[in-house]
Structures are given as C-alpha cells and as structure tokens.
Structure 1
Amino acid sequence: MNLFEDTQEECKEVYLDETESFTPEPLMDIMTEKEDADMRQVLALQMLKHVQENLGHAIELLENGQLVDAQTMLAQLVTEKTQLQRKKEALSGDKVLEGVFDGRGMVGSDGSIYEVPQNYASKSRLVEGDVLKLIVRANGEHIYKQIKPIERRRVIGSLLFDEVDNRHVVVVGDITYHVLDASVSYHRGGPGDEVVLVIPKSGKCRFGAVDAINKKR
C-alpha cells in the first residue's frame, strides 16, 4: 500500500468518527407530543361545538313543547360527551372523574373512594355533598377541583376532643359533627373553643367544615 492509500484510509476513519459524534437526536418524541397536543385541541373544539349546536336544538324543542324529544337529545348529548372525553383521556394519558365529597374523600363515579388531602378540603371548606372533579395525571398526580358546591348554612358549636375515637368534634345542641384535624390545627383550636361550622343547608351529615374558631377566654 502506498502513502496516498494510507492517507485516504486515515481520512476516511476520521470522517466516520466525526459523523458518529454529531448524529442528531431523534425528534420522534417531540413530534409525537406536538401531535397529541394538537389532537387534544381538536377534540376539545369539536366537543364545544357539538354541545353548542345540540343545546340550541334542545332549547328549540323545549320552546315548541316537544319535551320527550328534548330529553332524548340531552341524554344523547351526555353520552357523546362521555365518549369524546374518553378519547381525550386516551391521548393525554390523564383520567378525569367526577364524584361527591363525603366529608373525608371523594366517592367517584366509578364507585371508588379517592382520598382528598385534608389541607385542600380545609382551605376550600368542602362540605358533604359538594361535587368535585378529579384529574389523575399520567405521572400519578391527583388534582381536585370543586365544580358544584352544595347549598350551605352556618351553625355555631363547641369544639371537643373525642378521646375514644381520637378525633376532634363540634357539638351543636344535641348534634355532634366530625371535623378535619387539619382545620383545627390551622385555626389553632382547642377544647371549649367556639366554632363556626359550615354544613349542608338541608339533610343530615356527619362532617362539618370549619369556617372560623373563636378562642376560649
């Protein structure tokens, strides 16, 4: 092999090394995320337009006295909305649920009970019967949002500590309500303090939401 051939081989080896070192990163994941985001936006727009059109038609049917047809259309709209929501969830990897707050957790539409953080429930003054939305992210994160508060009323009672059940309670007349420990800790409440409690306007309940605590003098 002559000198010219040796030089060619050396140059070829250097060229191959540089090519391997500067191979660009694949853009497949980035493109996939962008396509998913675009598809979610299309589905959201499709859902809103569909709801708008069908609600207008349902109102027209009601105005014309066609109650049965209007009810059928609204039921169909709910079904189609659910189907579109499932498509959106499949693309995003998120799971969206609605449920009712039971004083400590959310009873989901799937029949499962989901733990609601006490700090969130306390700061939001959640009351039994409030309707919540839960978004379960693909990474496992849980995000709650209060979407339909139940009608409320306020009552005043005394804060006590139930040593048998190891929990705080508020006694209003002859009724005892459970309260979240996080609420009592936040307001620095103690036995004998006066508590302003938020409860459902009608019906019985086990839990109340602490609105304020007036310290015992």
Structure 2
Amino acid sequence: MSDDIILQVQELIESANASLKTAHALLRQVTGVTDTDRERIVSRASTMSGSTSPVSGKVVEGIFDGQNMVDGSGQTYPVPANYASKSKLVESDGMKLTITDEGKFIYKQIAPVKRRTAVGVLIQEDGQYKVLAEGKAYRLLLASVTFYRAEVGDQVTILLPEDMEAKWGAVENVLPKHIAQAAARAHVASESTEDGELSPRVSS
C-alpha cells in the first residue's frame, strides 16, 4: 500500500474522529452528562510516551477501553476482537499500535494493569452478552463468548482492573451451568453431612 493511500486513510480516520468528538461535545452541552470513563482513558493515554500521530513514525500508543484503543488525543483505533479475547486484554491496559508500510495494523500490549478476578453468571441484556458479578453487569466481547462457547446461565470468571472501575470484563474461564449446578449440589450435600444431618439415600 502506497504512502498516499495510507495518508488518505489516516485523514479519513481523523475526520471521523473529529466529527465524533464534536458530537460528544454537543451532547454534553445539551444533556450536561460527561463521559468520565472515556475522559479517564484519554487522560491516561496522553501520559504515554509514544507518538499520537501514526504518520510520523507510524507508531501510536494508547489505552484499551474494553473494545478499542484510545490515544492521547482521543482518537479511537479498532482492536481485533479475536486478538483482544485471546490476549485477555483488560480495560485500561496500555497498548502500542504499529502501522506498517503495507497498511497493516499490529497491536501489542505494553503496559498491562494489575488484575483481579470476579465470578458471575452470563446474561444477555439489550442484545449484548454481559456477566452479572458483584452486583454489576460487565460487558463482554462477543468473540470471547463464542470462543468459549458460553451460554446464558454459565458461570464465568472475568478479569478486571484491580484499582479502578470498569465497564468491560475479559473472560478468563467458563464453567457450563450444568457443571456449576452439580458442583453446588455436591457442596450443599457435603455441608449437610458435616453438620450431622442425614442425607437421603436412594436404594438400588
């Protein structure tokens, strides 16, 4: 891919992002609502040392927002869902994007945040898959759900940033609901026996 085409693509991306930023600003003026999560991500991205212009050096550093990479100027770069799922990227991870002379986008995780785990149940809400854990519904990438062949009702372990709030979770493990239910029944039966209660037996 020639440099002229790369420049043209970059101009289109910058134009689209500029329009999106203007739309967000107008929405804030009308509603008075501020997207504090996005502002936090942009603020963190602006402290990273990488260039914010892919044309000069063709390297961009930014922060993963759970679905895309956002650089210090607020521009958004789509991260392949399969890569994000398999790499178990967590919201607020630091990333680097390299744009090759052929126009390929190569992402790399360079500053992972500290992680913690949470266990919840897979639900579907407003057409999106989420995990209900700790009294909150965390969004999931569809690629993660399909990769693990998860179904609504399954028990899901997700990764979250340790020191900050998040809207997205990265799937760590999935326990099918029938296995989770069987394990729960076995646990209850075990506790009942330990407490001295009689467990029903089925005679053969």
- The bucket for the TM-score relative to the shorter chain is 0.5 to 0.7
- Quickly say closer, same or farther: Cα 1:113–1:82, change in 2 above 3 A: closer
Residue of 141, 145, 149 corresponding to 2:104: 141
Larger Rg: 1
Q: How does 1:18-167 map to 2 (within 5 A)?
A: 95-162=58-125, 164=126, 166-167=127-128
State the shift of 1:82 in Å.
7.0
Gaps of 5+ in 1: 1-80
Give the count of matched residue pairs: 130
- Quickly say closer, same or farther: Cα 1:215–1:148, change in 2 above 3 A: same
Query: SS at the partner of 1:120?
Result: helix
Which residue of 2 is the match for residue 202 of structure 1? 163
Q: Distance in 1 between matches of 2:134 and 2:111?
A: 29
Q: After superposition, what is the alpha-carbon deviation per residue over 1:80-127, rounded to whole angstroms, capped at 9, x for unaligned?
A: x979xx9xx76xxx5001000000000023421000000000001001
Residue of 168, 190, 194 corresponding to 2:129: 168
Q: Distance in 2 between matches of 1:206 and 1:132?
A: 18
Post-superposition, which runs of at least 4 consecutive aligned residues in structure 1 deviate over 3 A? none
Gaps of 5+ in 2: 1-48, 179-204
RMSD between superposed Cα atoms in Å: 2.3
Which residue of 1 is the match for residue 174 of structure 2? 213
Q: Distance in 2 between matches of 1:215 and 1:193?
A: 5
Structure with bigger helix share is 1
Q: Give the partner amino acid of 2:160.
A: I
Structure 2 contact 66–169 (Cα < 8 Å) conserved: yes
